[in-house]
Amino acid sequence: MDSKACILVVDDEEAIRSALSTFLGRLGYEVHTAATGTAALGLVDQREPDLVLLDVVLDERDQSQMSGLEVCRRLRQRSRFIPIIMLTSYPEWQVESLGQGAIAFVTKPWDNNALANQIRATLGAVQHIRRETTDEDAASPHTLRVREDIQIDLDHFRVTRAGQQIDLTPIEFALLAFLARYPNRQWTREELLNHVWDYHWVGYERTVDRHVAALRRKLKLERDELIETVHGIGYRLVTG
């Protein structure tokens, strides 16, 4: 992952913008900030960021200003996908913000390590999918149908089942998309870590098991339905 990835921080509180700008700058990111939705969209027009950290509410006192959810909707209308992580003090906004197209959700006050990991995972997953898509033949579809009722939209990073959008983390999405590109091929856990997590894993391989379990739960799959466990080896996505 490019350590100079550009992140746009959108929050109406100057202290939060300053804290995030300092923290993310120390991590090696290029950081831009905006206090309003209008300013944020203007900055995006000048240069599309690699990721947006976006406050859900923004300034409620000024009715002429856009909410964070409206900014999210407008960013989703752009031709190029920009991953959005929503920030808020109100956990009850999680479902609605994810429903508007956010890729993840962070509650204030945030834990710096957790936020850094979420950003790295998001940027890594998006970069992986874009690279895989670019490397394919231009005529290849950017929507994968892995079953009659399950579709993977590689351009907008969305998975639907029976028309209903499924809330997946960036790594879950990247794992499902990778398996779907190579149906009926078996992969070891180490191979999946190297391909999807994009680096040689030296830790706990069972992290793959946890992500597969999450995919099965969110897609409402039985144990070996669609994503099959290959005992003693790893996993494969089965079709037919």
Domain range for 206 is 136-237
Q: d(Cα 85, Cα 72) in Å, to the nearest integer?
A: 10
**Cα–Cα nearest to 74, from 89, 62, 58, 90:** 58
Strand partners for 85:
53, 104
Identify whether residues 146 and 207 lie together within a single domain: yes
pLDDT at 240: 66
The percent of residues above 70 in pLDDT, for the chain, comes to: 83
Residues 220-238: tens digit of each pLDDT: 998 889 999 999 899 999 9
Identify whether residues 85 and 149 lie together within a single domain: no
Identify whether residues 105 and 146 lie together within a single domain: no
Q: State yes or no: pLDDT of 1 exceeds 50.
A: no
Domain assignment of residue 97, yes or no: yes
At 200, the pLDDT band (50, 70, 90 cuts) reads: very low
At 92, the pLDDT band (50, 70, 90 cuts) reads: low
Contact indicator for 9, 53 with CB cutoff of 8 Å: yes
Domain limit, last residue, from 125, 155, 182? 125
pLDDT at 72: 87
Identify whether residues 52 and 158 lie together within a single domain: no
Higher pLDDT, 63 or 58: 58
Domain total in the chain: 2
**Cα–Cα nearest to 240, from 143, 145, 158:** 145
Number of neighbouring beta carbons within 10 Å of residue 161: 16
Residues 138-150: tens digit of each pLDDT: 445 588 888 889 9
Domain assignment of residue 130, yes or no: no
At 44, the pLDDT band (50, 70, 90 cuts) reads: very high
Domain assignment of residue 131, yes or no: no
| Mean pLDDT value of segment 19-46 | 95
| Mean pLDDT value of segment 88-108 | 65
Give the rounded distance of the alpha carbon of 41 from its chain centre. Answer: 20
The CATH number that applies at residue 213 is 1.10.10.10
Identify whether residues 173 and 206 lie together within a single domain: yes
Identify whether residues 117 and 158 lie together within a single domain: no
Domain assignment of residue 118, yes or no: yes
| Mean pLDDT value of segment 18-38 | 95
Domain assignment of residue 83, yes or no: yes
At 2, the pLDDT band (50, 70, 90 cuts) reads: very low
At 178, the pLDDT band (50, 70, 90 cuts) reads: very high
The CATH number that applies at residue 119 is 3.40.50.2300
Q: State yes or no: pLDDT of 201 exceeds 90.
A: no
